[in-house]
Amino acid sequence: MAKTTKKKLTKKARKEALVTRPKAKRSLKNIRRTKPSPILKPIVYAKLPNVITLTKTSWNILWLNKKLFLGIGLIYGLLNLILVQGLASSSDISLLKSTVTNLFHGHIGSLFSSLGIFVILLGSSGNGSSQTAGAYQLFLALITSLSIIWALRNLVNDKAIRLRDSYYQSMTPFIPFILVFIVIALELIPLLIGTIIYIVIISNSIAIGWLEQIITLIIFILFAALSLYWLLGSVFAIYIVTLPNMTPIKALKSANKLVKKRRLLILRKLLFLPLALFLVAAVIMIPIVLTISGIAQWVFFILTMFLLIVVHSYIYNLYRELLNEA
């Protein structure tokens, strides 16, 4: 009996030893093998469409809803004409044409003179007859921008809207919208400082040598680059702040996240817009200045009426494309 009990005890002891120790070792090995290694996957953004695709998309939205945007443009132009007196302070095109034509001769000279008149019209646009007119013009631009953004957002979401709804229902985020514009104005301060420094140094002949002039130019470029860096993030906050329950600070933070590591790509697409608008306006205006200069001011005024709509349509489509992340 003693032998059997000893054998049973040894067997039990052996089983316990085999059960406890090896299982502990195996469990540690399993934990080490099954523990996943952390892999940081980079954020991959969807490829943005080229400027031609953006332009086509923007134009299609405007063309398919031409009655709505035509009404917005007409209201903006009419109020601008009444409150700001848009054409009262503009110069006489016929007199200006005869003055500029004396500087050039021949067909090429007339072409250059028409181009010069067009550039003068561009420079004089937006200059109100007084400070009060300028304030009215800014106020009208803000209200019209809100109505355009509201209309674009609803049309992209396939919602049927009316002209009066674009004004009645879009004015809710007016105060946050203005606050974002104030931030954008403050971001232009480095550009203003750099411009003042450059003009003061060059006009007073402080920088005489070529090395000093290059250093002055580099200082101006650095100040301008800082403003541009800030503006590329804040420009999309204009559209984000119009969303429901959105504050200006949240909109600015979201806009900066949206353009993170993509500022140069966005800059190229934004620079295409003024270049394209300049070429289209030149193609329309130069033949009119050459042939029937009497209506050139009115045609230019009509173009400026719809300029704000085209700009917002292009930038809003770019903003929508930036939201598509892979």
Rounded CA-CA distance 244/157 in Å is: 15
Q: What percent of the chain has pLDDT over 70?
A: 71
**Statement: residue 8 has pLDDT above 90:** no
pTM of the model: 0.76
**Statement: residue 114 has pLDDT above 90:** no
Residues in CB range of 195: below 8 A, 6 or more apart: 220, 223
Q: Give the chain's mean pLDDT.
A: 79
74 touches 140 (CB < 8 A): no
**Statement: residue 26 has pLDDT above 60:** no
pLDDT in tens, 225-234: 999 999 998 9
pLDDT in tens, 35-65: 454 454 555 555 788 899 999 999 999 999 9
Confidence of residue 272 (pLDDT cuts 50, 70, 90): very high
Confidence of residue 113 (pLDDT cuts 50, 70, 90): low
**Statement: residue 73 has pLDDT above 80:** yes
Nearest to 315 by CA among 79, 55, 67, 102: 55
Look at residue 31 in the predicted model and tell me its pLDDT: 45
Rounded CA-CA distance 252/71 in Å is: 31
**Statement: residue 237 has pLDDT above 90:** yes
